[in-house]
Amino acid sequence: MRAVDLIQKKRNGGTLSYDEIAYLINGYCKGDIPDYQMSAWAMAVYFQGMNKKETADLTMAMAHSGDTVDLSPIRGMKADKHSTGGVGDKTTLIVAPLVAAIGIPVAKMSGKGLGHTGGTIDKLEAIPGLRTELARDDFFEQVNEIGIAVVGQSGNLTPADKKLYALRDVTATVESIPLIASSVMSKKIAAGADAIVLDVKTGSGAFMKSLEDSETLAKAMVDIGTEVGRKTAAVISDMDQPLGFAIGNALEVQEAIATLRGEGPEDLEQLCLTLAAHMAVLTGRTETTEEAEELLREALRSGAASAKFRAFAAAQGGDPNVIDNPELLPQAEDTIEVLAAEDGWVAAIQAEQLGLAAMKLGAGRAAKDDPIDYAVGITLRKKVGDQVRSGETLAVLHVRRGAVGLEAIAEETREAYSIGSRQPVPRPLLLSIVTAEGSVRLS
Ligand code: URA
């Protein structure tokens, strides 16, 4: 087999077999196929697409390019979730203990943040003492004992995806549905869960800008999961503004704790309940999402969900007192209020711009090995649909005293807000649910 023939076949609209796809992926991983040939192939896929079987074959070739996790030492149907990326997206911190509180085991691997999006591992590490590295047996034992463990990705999981994703990033081949679907699903399949719920974002701050494209992506991922025997569903939600009010590691932990106590922002609670309800149905914990939502709301009301978060934090060495005393979380030295320059209504908030502003404050990384400051970030005082008067606070920056560039960051935050002269028509958060049976529009 020669890479050039496979590139040509795809360029001309042909269909690749599993052996051909595996030849490319394994060859690229080993360094036998150079970046320039893999780039040409990725561009051919970008233009010609892949059918269902090719996409599943690519997923499995990447899933088996490194270690795979066998979760069978953990009792029961294990659930996982994945978000296609968001700003202020602290859903894992809420959904994982919430489903664990109703008896669904969560053995989860999460990532660190890069660029404008945050990572669950960074958020968890904002809790004083909390470790996100556990030996494999301790990881299994913790899930069997308290129902939940969340750790950083360890070992050599999906090296082919890591290499190919980095290449796609610099060759304008990220926005391809089969390439995104196989990239996400290879990681989820290698991580071993039986049931996978995908939190797919749509809108200006997401990979897929239209609902139709987001549904196509969601369907591609659900098809892959279903084809390889994992129960899979996707919830498509609007990403035209950050989720909740907090952006930044400790600030998001604080908001997640409030949500687990039933005192969180409505949008965040609604999305978390929906994701968790689908995890309950896919794992067979409940028959319907309505039944699941009742149990989950009761877990929020009764304190079972926040108690699960406390047990989880303590088991991984974190200070469990942060649940009752959030001031024990890292606190920024100073705050700066970002004021509205005009009267009107908030029409839109550029989530990506706010994510970048938070990163510049020190909450995220511009490069992979940059250090981060857990305390800094942004809290929104106004969200889409709110009325504002000139001089009123739009958002608060939580900053390091004397940090450079604060004025410019405050200006970028102000500019992330679009203020209109009329009250905007409210947009629903939840737009569509995609399961193996098909998709259902929610509005
Ligand atoms: N997230 C991934 O993990 N892979 C992609 O290709 C895009 C988003």
C-alpha–C-alpha distance, residues 156 and 166, integer Å = 16
- Choice from 50, 59, 184, 196 to test ligand 1 binding pocket (greatest atom count within 8 A of CB): 184
Would the pTM count as exceeding 0.85?
yes
Residue showing tokens 């360094």: 31
pLDDT for 301-348, tens place per residue?
A: 999 999 999 999 999 999 999 999 999 999 999 999 999 999 999 999
Is there an atom of ligand 1 within 6 Å of 42 CB? no
Q: Which helix (H) or strand (E) holds 352?
A: helix 351-358
For residue 415, which of 344, 341, 358 has the smallest C-alpha distance? 341
Is there an atom of ligand 1 within 6 Å of 29 CB? no
Q: Which residues are tagged catalytic?
A: 82, 161, 168, 183, 187
pLDDT reported for residue 418: 96
For residue 127, which of 319, 395, 323, 398 has the smallest C-alpha distance? 319
Virtual torsion, Cα 113, 60, 221, 260, nearest 10 deg = -40
Residue 183 CA: nearest ligand 1 atom is 4
Atom 3 (ligand 1): residue with closest C-alpha? 184
Which amino acid is located at 175 in the chain? E
Which segments of the chain have a pLDDT < 50? none
Q: Pull the structure tokens for residue 414.
A: 């102000």
pLDDT reported for residue 169: 86
Q: How far is the CA of 183 from the centre of ligand 1 (A)?
A: 5
- Choice from 89, 207, 217 to test ligand 1 binding pocket (greatest atom count within 8 A of CB): 207
Residue 180 CA: nearest ligand 1 atom is 6
pLDDT reported for residue 307: 97
Is there an atom of ligand 1 within 6 Å of 184 CB? yes
pLDDT reported for residue 205: 66
Contacts of 213 (CB under 8 A, 6+ apart): 177, 202
- Choice from 45, 62, 165, 200 to test ligand 1 binding pocket (greatest atom count within 8 A of CB): 165
pLDDT reported for residue 116: 72
pLDDT reported for residue 111: 81
Determine the number of helices (DSSP H) and then strands (DSSP E) in the chain: 16, 14
Is there an atom of ligand 1 within 6 Å of 165 CB? yes
